[in-house]
Structures are given as structure tokens and as C-alpha cells.
Amino acid sequence: MNNITNFELLQLVGGTSWEEKQQRDFINKYVITLLGFINENLNGKIKSETEEYFSQIIKKTPYSEEEIKDFFKKNYPGLDQVITDLVIDFKKQFVISVYQEKIRELSANITSDTLLIKWKKILERALTDDWEGVTKLMKE
């Protein structure tokens, strides 16, 4: 139950209270970056139709991780587990980079040691895949 896939992206980055446009922009950035990550890791294994799909999905909102995974499952049998692993790995890397950026921002503009310490604890938990602990700290 402590797998990153059991938690929503906005929940993991403290974005559930953001305005809808900020949430949508963040999710769009995530999905576009995810597509690039998958493309890079599958380079040489994908067909030219995939590039057309990427162009179409980037223009379409909203879209989801599931939609992307479904496309690859349909067009590349046997890659399901590879795609699932890539999505999990990317989501973890992406979330951790958000935490690291938040820590850099807080370190540069120290206004609260307590807040900086909290984000460092969040990062520590993320690095050990304690996503339940991450979400608990986010709620504090």
C-alpha cells in the first residue's frame, strides 16, 4: 500500500489546494515530460505512428497516465511491464525533483527553519519510498 502508484501526483507535491489552472498546468507539464521520458527510454523500439500520437495527445487536455499506458499496450504488446516500470520510475524521479527544488528555494530564502526541516523530511521519506509518510507530512 506504500507504492507511489497508490498516491495522486498533486497529493504528493502538496498541490491539492492549488488553483485549478495551476493544477492543470502542473499535470500537463508532468505528462509532457513523461511522454519524453518514455520516448527516450523506448527509442528505436517505437514506430513512426507514435510520434503522431505524441503530437495529438499534447494538444488534448485532459489526458492521463492511463491513456498513455493504454496506447503503448495496444501498439506494443509485451511492453506493458516495461511501460509500468518506466511510469513508476519517472513519477518518483519527478516528485523527488519537485522536493529538491522546494528545498533549494527555501534554503535561498530562509523564512522558516521549520518549513525547511519539514521538506527535508519529506524528501528523506520519498528517497526510501515511504509515500504514506510523505502524504502524512504534507497534511501537517
In this prediction, residue 97 carries a pLDDT of 94
C-alpha dihedral (46, 8, 28, 128), degrees to nearest 10: -70
**Residue 131, burial from CB neighbour count under 10 angstroms (0-12, 13-18, 19+):** buried
pTM of the model as a whole: 0.73
* 40: in domain: yes
* 110: in domain: yes
Q: For cell 485532459, what's the residue?
A: 62
Q: Mind listing the pLDDT tens digit for each residue in 29-50?
A: 998 999 889 888 887 766 667 7
Q: Mind listing the pLDDT tens digit for each residue in 65-97?
A: 787 778 777 777 777 788 888 999 999 999 999
Domain of residue 61, residue span: 19-139
Neighbouring C-beta atoms of residue 33, cutoff 10 Å? 14
Contact of 58 with 32, CB cutoff 8 Å:
yes
C-alpha dihedral (28, 34, 35, 37), degrees to nearest 10: 150
For the chain, the domain total comes to 1
* 46: in domain: yes
pLDDT category at 16 given cuts 50, 70, 90 is confident
* 63: in domain: yes
Which residue has better confidence, 79 or 125? Answer: 125
